[in-house]
Structure 1
Amino acid sequence: MLKGQKTAIRSLEEDDIDALYKWYNDQEVNLWSSGAWPLNTLLSKDEIAAKFLDGSPDTYRYAILDENDLLIGTIGFKELNIPGQSATLFIVVGNKTYWGKGYGTDALITFARFLFTQWNFHRISLDTWDENIRAIKAYERVGFKIEGRQRKARFVLGNYHDVILMGLLRDEFLALHGK
């Protein structure tokens, strides 16, 4: 288990499925985690279990816990590029009572440190949509920099929005947060 100042990160377990089912079918959680509202699809518990526990060989998903070991979200990476020592991160704080309290930032710092020091990644990236200001600010606190924009690439609530592309290099992260 990885330990941060406010969070811990562990493997996902079967007991997590009920919470994941609730979050991934929640309008507000989906809106801010990916700009995906209306949802592309509503997932059943069996589909959630297959996606999160069985997964795909190129996606790594983990649970985010609070100080009392309560599941509050998920974090992980995909698009692993072994020669380039890079991947794309994703995070969802599904328990809305933890929004805006630094838990997502702490989980990102903890997970980024793990990827840079244990997986020997050189670079990690992520993206969000242009109106997700709270996430952009959290990513910047971790050290991510805006690297680009895909114009009108997400359709959210009847309007097209830009996707904000962000990246973080190992040296930048370690200079900000140490080993």
Structure 2
Amino acid sequence: MKGRLRVRKLMEEDKSVLVDWLSNPAILEFYEGRDNPFNLEKVNKKFYNRKDKVNRCIVEYEGVRIGYIQFYPINHHTSNITNDSNADVVFGMDQFIGETMYWNKGIGTALIQKMVDYLIDKKNVDRIIMDPQTTNKRALTCYEKCGFKKVRILPGHELHEGKYRDCWLIEYDTRNG
């Protein structure tokens, strides 16, 4: 399955598909919030012409754009989760499959495994972290299948649909993985 997946840099022509995905309540349930749909202006502001270290990418499966993934070094500019060990190379990731017909087919698991391999091989990471909401069972199951471990609860970590939600800090430690 990994061979049928392609991750490429976000391009201008991807704006409309991001608007479609980020105005879909099924996607927004765990990513940004159903009370926070995106339009073109919001997509431009959040995903384009940013001067940060976030690598924003589109996920393609068999040539079809199906999702979004971003990865970035953890520092005070890219995350509110601090790198507690300055000696470690730590990256964060966020992603979603925007085409719901591709859910529950193992594609998300293949994507996470592919990105973990890339970050280890090309970025020499020591650890990869993510912070999914504690109620996002499908995502947590996927991440745990890929070798991520729950580290601790981040209480009230994310403002989502008008409430501060608890999230799990999860990590893939390449020294133990």
User: Do Structure 1 and Structure 2 share a fold, with TM-score over 0.5?
Assistant: yes
Query: SS where residue 119 of structure 2 aligns?
Result: helix
- Who is 2:122 aligned against? 118
Letter in 2 for 1:89: M
User: Does 2:35 align with 1:38?
Assistant: yes
2 CA distance for matches of 1:28 and 1:70?
19
Q: Which runs of 5+ in 2 are unaligned?
A: 76-85
Q: Aligned runs of 1:82-121 on 2, under 5 Å?
A: 84-121=88-125
Q: Is 1:53 the equivalent of 2:48?
A: yes
Q: Percent identity?
A: 23
Larger relative CO (CA 8 A, sep 6+): 1 or 2?
1
Q: 1:150 aligns with which of 140, 148, 154?
A: 154
| Aligned CA distance change for structure 1 residues 53 and 157 (closer, same or farther; 3 Å) | closer
Higher fraction of helix = 1
Hey, what's the Cα distance between the residues in 1 that align with 2:74 and 2:172? 15
Number of residue pairs aligned between Structure 1 and Structure 2: 167
| Equivalent position SS for 1:64 | strand
Please tell me whether residue 73 in structure 1 is matched to residue 73 in structure 2: no
* Alpha-carbon distance between aligned partners in 2 of 1:155 and 1:52, rounded to the nearest angstrom: 19
What TM-score, normalized by structure 1, do the two folds share? 0.82
> Counterparts of 1:54 and 1:152 in 2: how far apart (Å)?
30
| CA displacement at 1:79 relative to structure 2 | 4.4
